C-alpha cells in the first residue's frame, strides 16, 4: 500500500512538473507570438510610411522639381526646390531621384539644341538668300543713279538707296550671327572710308560726327577684315543712336596708339548701361559663347547685333570693349584694330573718298625765342655782352621814328567816332545807289 502511495506521489509530482513546464512554454509561446505580431505590425506600418513618403516625393518631383529645373536650364536665376524629406539624400530612393533629374536635363538640353540648330539654319538660309536679292537691288539702284541726272529722281534714288542699305545691314548681321560670312569681299580699304561707309548704313547718320586723329592719310585695313570691321562699327554706332535722344550727337574718333594698333572710339550721351547689361554685352562680343549661344536667349525679337560682333571678333581677331562710360555718362565703345590687320595704302592709286574725314592737323609747335643780339662790346672781348630788345620790320618796310624798326606789337589807336560814322554813311549811300540801279535795270 505504501508502495502504491509512493508511486502515485511520483506520478503526481511528475504530472505537476510537466504541467508547470507546459505552462511556462505556453506563456513563452504566447509572448513570442505577441512580439512577432507586434513586429509584423511595425513592419507593415514602416512599409506603408515608406510607400507614402516615396509617393509624396515622386509627386513633388513631377509637379515642382522638374518644371523648376526646366526653367533653371533656361536661366540660372530660377531656383530648383530640393526633396521634401531631408533624410532622402544618400538613400537609394534619393539617388534614384537625382538620376531622374540628370536624365531630364540631358534630354531637355539635347532637344533644345536640336530645335535651336534648326531655327538658326532657318535664319541663316532666309537672311543669306534675301541678302543676295538686296545686293542685286543695290546694283540696280547704283546704275539708276549714274544714268539719270534729274534732281528729283536723284533725290528719290538716294532715299531708296538709304532704305536698301538699312535692309542690307539687318540681313547681314542676322546672317553673321547665325554663322554665315559677311557676304561681301573688299580690297585693302582706307580706314576713314570704312567708318564713313558704316555710318551711311544707319538711320539718323547725320547725328554721327567723325573725327580723324590719325597721324597719316594712308592708314588702311586688309581686305579680308575690311567688311567685318565695317559691320562691327555700324552695329556699335547703331547702338549709340538707338540709346540716345534724336537731338544728341554721337562722337566717333579714329585714334592711333603707341603699340601700332588703331582704335575707333564711339561716345554717346544716352542712358548708359547697367552693370549686368554691360557684362552681358561684353560676354556676347568676346566671341567665347558664339558657338553655344541659343537663339531663344536673344529675346523676342532676337537682338543679333552683339552676337554678330562676337562672331566677327572670334573669326578676325580685332577687339571690342564697352566696359567704360562715355564722357557724357552714356556708353563708350572702343573697337581696337591690331597692327596685323592694318596696311599702308598708296594714296595716289587709291585716294580717300571726299566724304571721309581728313586727318586732323598737328598741334602747333611752340615758337622758340630768337637768340638775343649782342652789342659791339661783346666782339671787343668784354666779359658780359650787352643785350637790347630785337625789333622786327613791318611788312611795308616802314621804320619807326629816328630810323628804328617798328615794334612787333602794333600800337593801339584811339577810336575815331566821326571817321566811323562817315565810313558807314558812304557804305549806305553806295549800297542804296547800287540797289536803285539794279531795280531800275530789272524794271526795264
Q: What is the pLDDT of residues 385-402, one digit of tens each?
A: 444 444 433 334 434 444
Predicted confidence at residue 3, as pLDDT, reads: 52
How far is the CA of 108 from the CAs of 1, 67, 73, in angstroms? 101, 11, 8
Rounded-to-integer distance, Cα 425 and Cα 431, Å: 10
pLDDT tens by residue, 39-53: 555 554 577 777 777
Q: Residues 194, 234: contact at Cβ < 8 Å?
A: no
Spatial CA neighbour of 128 closest among 173, 86, 67 = 173
Q: Which long-range contacts (CB under 8 A, 24 or more apart) does 73-77 make?
A: 73/105, 73/108, 73/109, 73/112, 74/296
Strand 208-212 relative to strand 250-256, pairing: parallel
Report the C-alpha gap between 309 and 182 in whole angstroms. 11
Res 428: pLDDT: 55
The length of the chain in residues reads 444
Among residues 207, 219, 288, the alpha carbon closest in space to that of 251 is found at: 207
Q: Rounded to whole angstroms, what are the CA distances from 411 to 294, 407, 417?
A: 77, 8, 18
Is residue 161 within 8 A of residue 145, CB to CB? The reply is: yes
Give the mean pLDDT of the chain: 77
**DSSP 8-state assignment for residue 64:** I
Note the pLDDT of residue 33.
61
Q: How far apart are CA 399 and CA 2, in angstroms?
A: 185
Q: How far apart are CA 326 and CA 166, in angstroms?
A: 26
Q: Based on C-alpha coordinates, what's the Rg of the chain?
A: 46
Cell numbers for 300: 523676342
Supply φ then ψ for residue 262, to 5 degrees.
-130, 140
- Cβ proximity of 213 and 359 under 8 Å: yes
CA-based end-to-end distance of the chain: 190
Which three three-digit cell numbers place residue 404? 628804328
CA gap 266, 254 in Å, rounded? 9
> How far, in Å, CA of 209 to CA of 196, rounded?
10
Give the pLDDT confidence score for residue 115 in this predicted structure: 87
| Sign of the CA dihedral running 184, 185, 189, 191 | positive
Q: Name the percent of the chain in helix, strand, coil, to the closest 5.
A: 60, 10, 35
Over the chain (444 residues), what is each successive 10-residue block's mean pLDDT?
52 55 58 62 62 78 82 79 72 78 85 87 90 91 87 88 92 91 88 93 92 89 94 95 92 93 94 90 83 78 91 93 91 95 88 73 57 45 43 39 40 50 57 48 41
Q: How confident is the model at residue 32, as a pLDDT?
A: 65
User: Omega before 301 cis (within 30°)?
Assistant: yes
In which element (H, E) is residue 322 found?
strand 319-325
Task: Count Cα atoms within 13 angstroms, Cβ side, for 432.
Answer: 6
Question: Is the full-model pTM beyond 0.95?
Answer: no
Per the CB < 8 A criterion, the answer to whether 307 and 177 are in contact is yes
Calculated CA dihedral for residues 144, 148, 153, 159, nearest 10 degrees: 40
Is the alpha carbon torsion for 106, 109, 112, 117 positive or negative? Answer: negative
Main-chain phi, psi angles of 203, to 5 degrees = -75, 130
Residues 6+ apart with CB under 8 A from 372: 387, 390
Q: What is the pLDDT of residue 419?
A: 58
**Interacting residues of 314 by C-beta distance below 8 A, sequence separation 6+:** 287, 288, 290
Amino acid at each position: 500500500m505504501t508502495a502504491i502511495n509512493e508511486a502515485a506521489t511520483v506520478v503526481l509530482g511528475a504530472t505537476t512538473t510537466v504541467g508547470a513546464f507546459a505552462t511556462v512554454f505556453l506563456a513563452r509561446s504566447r509572448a513570442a507570438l505577441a512580439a512577432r505580431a507586434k513586429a509584423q505590425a511595425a513592419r507593415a506600418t514602416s512599409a506603408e510610411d515608406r510607400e507614402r513618403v516615396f509617393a509624396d516625393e515622386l509627386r513633388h518631383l513631377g509637379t515642382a522639381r522638374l518644371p523648376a529645373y526646366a526653367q533653371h536650364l533656361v536661366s540660372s536665376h530660377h531656383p530648383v526646390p530640393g526633396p521634401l524629406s531631408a533624410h532622402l539624400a544618400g538613400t537609394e530612393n534619393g539617388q534614384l531621384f537625382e538620376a531622374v533629374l540628370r536624365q531630364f536635363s540631358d534630354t531637355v538640353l539635347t532637344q533644345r539644341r536640336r530645335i535651336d540648330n534648326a531655327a538658326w539654319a532657318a535664319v541663316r538660309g532666309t537672311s543669306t538668300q534675301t541678302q543676295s536679292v538686296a545686293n542685286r537691288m543695290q546694283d540696280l539702284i547704283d546704275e539708276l543713279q549714274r544714268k539719270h541726272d534729274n534732281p528729283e529722281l536723284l533725290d528719290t534714288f538716294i532715299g531708296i538707296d538709304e532704305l536698301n542699305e538699312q535692309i542690307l545691314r539687318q540681313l547681314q548681321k542676322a546672317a553673321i550671327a547665325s554663322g554665315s560670312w559677311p557676304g561681301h569681299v573688299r580690297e585693302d580699304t582706307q580706314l576713314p572710308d570704312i567708318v564713313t561707309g558704316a555710318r551711311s548704313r544707319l538711320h539718323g547718320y547725320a547725328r554721327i560726327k567723325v573725327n580723324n586723329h590719325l597721324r597719316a592719310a594712308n592708314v588702311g585695313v586688309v581686305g579680308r577684315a575690311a567688311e567685318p570691321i565695317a559691320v562691327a562699327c555700324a552695329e556699335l554706332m547703331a547702338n549709340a543712336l538707338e540709346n540716345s535722344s534724336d537731338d544728341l550727337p554721337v562722337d566717333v574718333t579714329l585714334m592711333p596708339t603707341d603699340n601700332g594698333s588703331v582704335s575707333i572710339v564711339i561716345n554717346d550721351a544716352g542712358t548708359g548701361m547697367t552693370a549686368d547689361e554691360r557684362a552681358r554685352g561684353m560676354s556676347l562680343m568676346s566671341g567665347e559663347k558664339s558657338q553655344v549661344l541659343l537663339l531663344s536667349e536673344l529675346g523676342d525679337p532676337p537682338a543679333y547685333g552683339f552676337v554678330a560682333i562676337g562672331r566677327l571678333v572670334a573669326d578676325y581677331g580685332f577687339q571690342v570693349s564697352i566696359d567704360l562710360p562715355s564722357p557724357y555718362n552714356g556708353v563708350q565703345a572702343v573697337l581696337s584694330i591690331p597692327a596685323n590687320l592694318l596696311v599702308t595704302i598708296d594714296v595716289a592709286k587709291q585716294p580717300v573718298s571726299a566724304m571721309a574725314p581728313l586727318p586732323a592737323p598737328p598741334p602747333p609747335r611752340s615758337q622758340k625765342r630768337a637768340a638775343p643780339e649782342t652789342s659791339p662790346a661783346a666782339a671787343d672781348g668784354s666779359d658780359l655782352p650787352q643785350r637790347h630788345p630785337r625789333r622786327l620790320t613791318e611788312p611795308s618796310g616802314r621804320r619807326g621814328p629816328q630810323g628804328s624798326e617798328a615794334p612787333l606789337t602794333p600800337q593801339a589807336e584811339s577810336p575815331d567816332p566821326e571817321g566811323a560814322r562817315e565810313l558807314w554813311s558812304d557804305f549806305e549811300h553806295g549800297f542804296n545807289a547800287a540797289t536803285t540801279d539794279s531795280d531800275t535795270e530789272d524794271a526795264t
